[in-house]
Structure 1
Amino acid sequence: MRYLAYLDTALTALAARLRGEDPERGDVPGWVMVTVMTAALVLAILAVFQEAIVTAVQNALNSVTGAGG
């Protein structure tokens, strides 16, 4: 009998989710906006500091691989 109760609970939760009544669904347009704004910020920083970033990454990789002299 306990398994039937679990099955009933699971099916009720699934039906609520399919109907869009799930309170944990989240704010999809908000997350899309955060993602787009983050990508724009990264591109803006990269456009201004590209040479410094490339140099820093190359120096870091060279110091790890031992190719830095």
Structure 2
Amino acid sequence: MTELASLPARIRRRLVNERGDVPGWVLVTLMTAGLVILIWGLAGPALAGLFEQAIARVSGL
């Protein structure tokens, strides 16, 4: 007797037929990558300026 045989039929069907939501995960991944690129593009120069200013203050230049 397998482990699945001891489970109720409703749960067993979901476990056996579970294929995942691949299109959903693809969409979430693409949207996240798009947001990172957008935020990086907008905030990158400002963050680079802040970093250079902080290094200049620490190094005494």
CA pair 57-30 structure 1, distance change in 2 beyond 3 A: farther
Aligned-partner Cα distance in 1 for 2:21–2:40: 29
| Identity score, percent | 35
Report the TM-score when normalising by structure 1. 0.48
- Residue of structure 2 in register with 1:9 after alignment: 3
Secondary structure of 1:68's match? helix
For the aligned residues, what is the CA RMSD? Answer: 2.9
Aligned-partner Cα distance in 1 for 2:24–2:58: 45
Deviations 1:23-66 (A, max 9, x none): xx43111111111111111111211221112234553xx5xxxx
How many residue pairs match? The answer is: 48
Task: Give unpaired runs (5+ residues) of structure 2.
Answer: 6-11
